[in-house]
Every structure is written in C-alpha cells, then in structure tokens.
Structure 1
Amino acid sequence: MVNRCSDTEIETLAEFDRVAARGSLSGYRVQSVNLLERTFALLSSDTSAAVFLGCPMEPDASAKVRADGALVFPPVPDLPFNPYRGLLYSADELFTGLPGGYETTPDAQSYAWFQETKADGDVFSSMLRSIHDDAISDALDEHLAGARVVGVMGGHAMSRGGLDYRGAAELGRELARSGLTVATGGGPGAMEAANLGAYLASAPDEALPEALEILAKAPSFTPSVSDWARAAFAVRERWPDGADSVGIPTWFYGHEPPNAFAGHIAKYFANATREDGLLARSNAGVVFLPGAAGTLQEIFDNATPNYYESRGEPTPMVLVDRTHWTEHLPAWPLLKALARGRAMESRIALVDSVDEAPAALAAMTAAARTK
C-alpha cells in the first residue's frame, strides 16, 4: 500500500505514466485523467484500493480495476464543467470560444447550468457542485503550498479608465515584485486591476500605462462581457509571458465574469466557501481597497479569526482611503475598537492612498518578525 502521508494524487497523464511504470497504482487517487489510451497499463497494474475520479477508460479496463477493488466514479455527461478536476482553471479554459461571444464559453455555460439547478432541489446537482468545489480547494492548496499570499479586496464597479483602477494595478505590480503571490476575488474592477498589475510585474514599467490604454476601450463588463474580455486578451497577446497571480471568483455572482489576468483561477459555485478560502489563504496579509457591501463583509470576515488569535500572529490588514473607511462606510472606527487590547491591534493600518499600502503591510510584517 501507498504511504498515506505521501502524495497519492495523480492529476496528469505524465504523473500516471510515472506511477504506473512501477507496476502498482494501489491506493492512488486519479483525478480527471483520460485513460482511454492506457488500457495496457491499467490491465497490468495493481489497482486495489485506488480511486478513479472522472477518468475515461475502455470497458475492459474499467471492469478490471473494479474487480481489483478500485472505486470508479465515471465522468458525468452533458456538464459544462468537470466536477472531478484536479487542477485550477486558466483564463484560456474559461473563455474558450470567446470569438463567438461570451455566452458560448464554458464560464457562461457553467453559470447558466448553475442558474437552472441551484434551486431545483436535485441532490445530484448539489452533490456535483460540492464535489467540484472541494476539488478546487484541493487544487488551490496544492498550488499555494509554501507561498506568501497577500489578498487584495475591492469593489467590482471600478472602471478600467479611472485613476483608482490604475492605483490598484500599481499595487498588484508592487506586491508581486516584492515576491508575494497576489490573490483576489478574481472578478472585474479592483480585483482585475490587482491581477493585471501582478501579471505585468515582470514587464517594463511602461507596459502598464500601455495596457491601461488598451483596456480603457472597454471600461466595464457592461454592456458587453465579450468586448470587455476581448480587450483583456488583447493585452495578454501584447505581453504573453505574464507573471502568476491567483483569482478566486464564483458563479454565485455569475453576472460578474472572471478576469483574464490571474494565472490560476479557483472558481467556485458556493460563495461562502470562496470568501472564507480566499481570506484564510492570505497568510501575508490583506489590503482592502474602497468597496461596498462585499468588501465590508470581507473586512470583518477577516477580522473575526484575527480577534480570536491568541498566539500573537494575526494577519496584517491594511484599509486604503481614510475618507471612505471613516466617513462613507465607517468600518475603521469599529475595527479599531474591536482590536483594542487584542493581538490584532498592532496588525491593522489605515492609509490615505493605495501607494502607501505596501509599506504599511511590510512594516507590520517586519514588526511581527522582531517579536
């Protein structure tokens, strides 16, 4: 049997071939690998106690592995998504078919499926959504293992042509250049801007204003998601070797499309799972740009575990725009009152402008390391 403490997941054909060459797949979990051309390997390997999740295989191979005692979860037909997937999404995958219009893409079709099934009471549909989201969480943990992740939160309404959008992009670029992995909610507005900045972190400084000029031709995802997405892919075509960042969007807000600048996309059906997961994985801190109800919720979702942190290791929180967070939506006074006398008191900061956020984040991190 395979040591349960080791990595027992197989997510690519190359990994399958490497393991199968040893003659035993016993105890492994094979996720969404096309095995139609691996019949000989399956027939000649020990597959006892293996689990095959959504792996196409020939009937004789399927019969053999079942006889070995393996569990086989077959692919589910006629779904616009793969519930067993072992890897995160890419923008290219979600936007496949974009030249024909956004409504033809897997992203739009998955949202349409969700709209049709989310309230029909069908346990099979809800099970498929749960399996999918759990697989995404597993893939996200694997991708971020060992990374220092900083979350950037902010509203979806920020226009591509505005100064706020440019500031958020410069923030993402600076954070990425400092060695942090930028993670956002994966949608438009401030989220897209931060992912864009991270994407262009390895490009010359002049690339960002050029990219902003291209994007400004389609400033919002309304009225046309297709035009909005095509402008993003025009930027990617101009600078094809962008740096990595993470987007964590949701089909719960499916009218808001994912942005194309996150190198890896963890898209969920359940928004609560997505929100909690994004904040929990932001182990190097969170920057909150001006936003509305969603961003306000994220501030206190993040503050709650920080409040109860007893080891003195709450994650830093930086709120950007003093006027917004003290007058328009006065979250800062409440957050400061909540933090008083707690370990989190020294790990929260309010700054006037977005260009101050990286320094505030770095200062709190450095202070924690000297304790």
Structure 2
Amino acid sequence: MSAPTGSSSPLRSKKPRFGSWRKGAAVGSTADSRLLDTPPSSDFTHTDPWRVMRIQSEFVQGFDSLAEIGPAISVFGSARTKPGTRHYEMGVEVGRRLVEAGVAVITGGGPGSMEAANKGAFEADGLSIGLGIELPFEQGMNQWVGLGVDFRYFFARKTMFVKYAQGFVVLPGGLGTLDELFEAMVLVQTSKVTQFPIVLVDSAFWSPLVAWIKDTMVEQGLVSPGDLDIIALADTPEEAVALVMAGEAGNKVAAG
C-alpha cells in the first residue's frame, strides 16, 4: 500500500491520535525540561504536585491506547537517516518483514529510521504505531503512523516502548538510539523485564561499540561477559527479523 498523492500529509485524516502538546509551548521549553528544572522557591508547591496529575494522565493514555495491539516489536534508529539511503531502506524492509511475521511495529513516530519502519509496516497492511515526544524543536509524527500517541515525558514514553514490545530491533543511530538501546539492555540485565531479544542491524556500524564494551568494560570488570549475550548482531533485515522473532535472548515473542 502506498500513500495517496495530492497531499503533503496524506494519512493525517485517518490517523487516531492521542495527546496534544504542540500548542502554546515556549520555544526551547518542554514538559520534561520544566519538570527537571529547579523552580523558584514557592513555585514548587504550586506546580509540581499538579504536574503529577499530568504524568498520571500520560500513563493512562498510553495504557488505554496500546492495551489491545497484540504482539509488537519496537524499532529504534536515527531521526537523521535520509530517505533513499541504505539504512532507510533497511528500516522499510524491517517494518515490512515484522508485519509479515505477524507483529505490529512500534517506533518513536518521527522521521528517519522511525519513518522507514513505519512505512514498511503500513505498506504491508500492518499496525504501524508511533510514540511521539515533545521536543524543543518541531519534529512531528511521520505520515506512515496508523496509531499515534503523543507524550510530554520521556519516561512515560519509554515505559510504553518496553511494556508493549516483545523485542527490539535497533538500526544505526545517535544519542537517542544509544539511550534506548542501553536502557533496554539494563532492563534485561537486571531482570526488570522478561528477557527478550535485542538485535542490532548492520554489524559494521555496531561492532566497534560492542568491541569497546568487551575490550574495555568487560576487561576492567565493569560489565559481566555474559551481558553481551543480551544483544545479537545482524547484517540484513531478514536476519534481524528472524533473530528477534526466534527470541534468541528469551521467549517473550509469541506471534499468532
């Protein structure tokens, strides 16, 4: 399935969206930044207690929106990946193959590799989910998202990535991708979540990082050798999807 022509945002009218944070926010100001800033003395008693209610509403919103999506895989990757590049096309194929394997696709809903995975899932007639985040620069939900949920707070959004996923596929990316990758690894390593596979796509990109963990962190006793078994490397979308669906680091995936 391809996007209809004649519109810069062809899928917007069909997309269920939950949450709203695009209006009225000051430039460079986000809900996260306001929460984490140390406020002037008396402001704490007037703002932070009420902010708890907003945080609660985000969790309720996420749980309610995603509760019945069925088995899903979270796909992480750079927002800066350009359409037509090798990594973008990898993302499209990952999304398509995951749908063909019987699972929904969850991304951060933004551009780049996230857009690519959503596009592949949408074109395969699967459930294409985007979990957007308020940022000081406008990013927006990509046009291939079929179910979109907007979040103000990173920690609420991250909970949804983990709670509703049975595995992770990680495309090449930057700091945000590393943040998501290492948090997922820590959750598995500390048994905070049922063990499930984390597959890194493009071994040429990821091997230097894995080598540094092994040769520096493991060598100095900062990481256990077995912790590297939490992740697997793949060179093709076909291999990545096969590994994540096989549950190489666990057996949480159970597609119908």
Tell me which interval the TM-score lies in, with the shorter structure as reference length. 0.7 to 0.9
Question: What secondary structure does 2:205 align onto?
Answer: helix
Question: What secondary structure does 2:177 align onto?
Answer: helix
Which residue, out of 182, 189, 201, partners 1:320? 201
Other-structure match for 1:145: 67
Work out whether 1:157 is the aligned partner of 2:80. yes
Q: Cα gap change, 1:133/1:252 in structure 2, threshold over 3 Å: closer, same or farther?
A: farther
Superposition pairs of residues 246-257 of structure 1, within 5 angstroms: 246-257=129-140
The sequence identity of aligned pairs, in percent, is: 27
Higher helix fraction (1 or 2): 1
List runs of 5+ in structure 1 lacking aligned partners: 1-89, 97-105, 203-242
Q: Cα gap change, 1:325/1:198 in structure 2, threshold over 3 Å: closer, same or farther?
A: same
Distance 2:108 2:176 in 1: 10
Q: CA deviation at 1:274?
A: 1.8
Superposition pairs of residues 1-371 of structure 1, within 5 angstroms: 91-92=12-13, 108-109=22-23, 111-112=25-26, 115=29, 119=34, 121=39, 130-145=52-67, 147-202=70-125, 243-282=126-165, 284-309=166-191, 313-327=194-208, 330-331=209-210, 333-334=212-213, 337=218, 338=223, 340-341=225-226, 345=229, 347-364=230-247, 368=251
Aligned residues: 225
Distance 2:66 2:224 in 1: 29
Question: What secondary structure does 1:252 align onto?
Answer: coil
Q: Cα gap change, 1:182/1:360 in structure 2, threshold over 3 Å: closer, same or farther?
A: same
Distance 1:297 1:366 in 2: 20
Higher alpha-carbon Rg: 1
Residue pair 2:14, 2:146 contacting (<8 A) in 1 also: no
Q: CA deviation at 1:112?
A: 4.5
- Which residue type is aligned with residue 62 of structure 2? L
Distance 1:128 1:247 in 2: 27
Q: CA deviation at 1:353?
A: 2.7
Q: CA deviation at 1:133?
A: 4.3
- Which residue type is aligned with residue 140 of structure 2? P
Q: CA deviation at 1:125?
A: 6.5
Residue pair 2:231, 2:249 contacting (<8 A) in 1 also: no
Q: Cα gap change, 1:116/1:357 in structure 2, threshold over 3 Å: closer, same or farther?
A: closer
Residue pair 2:62, 2:160 contacting (<8 A) in 1 also: no
Distance 1:130 1:261 in 2: 32
- Which residue type is aligned with residue 287 of structure 1? V
Q: Cα gap change, 1:177/1:95 in structure 2, threshold over 3 Å: closer, same or farther?
A: closer
TM, length-normalised to structure 2: 0.72
Q: CA deviation at 1:171?
A: 0.8
- Which residue type is aligned with residue 146 of structure 2? G
Spell out, residue by residue over 1:206-260, the C-alpha distance to the aligned partner (whole angstroms, 9 max, x if none): xxxxxxxxxxxxxxxxxxxxxxxxxxxxxxxxxxxxx422111211354222212
> Alpha carbon RMSD of aligned pairs, Å?
3.5
Q: Cα gap change, 1:271/1:111 in structure 2, threshold over 3 Å: closer, same or farther?
A: farther
TM, length-normalised to structure 1: 0.52
Q: CA deviation at 1:176?
A: 1.5
Question: What secondary structure does 1:247 align onto?
Answer: strand
Question: What secondary structure does 1:249 align onto?
Answer: strand
List runs of 5+ in structure 2 lacking aligned partners: 1-10
Q: CA deviation at 1:271?
A: 2.1
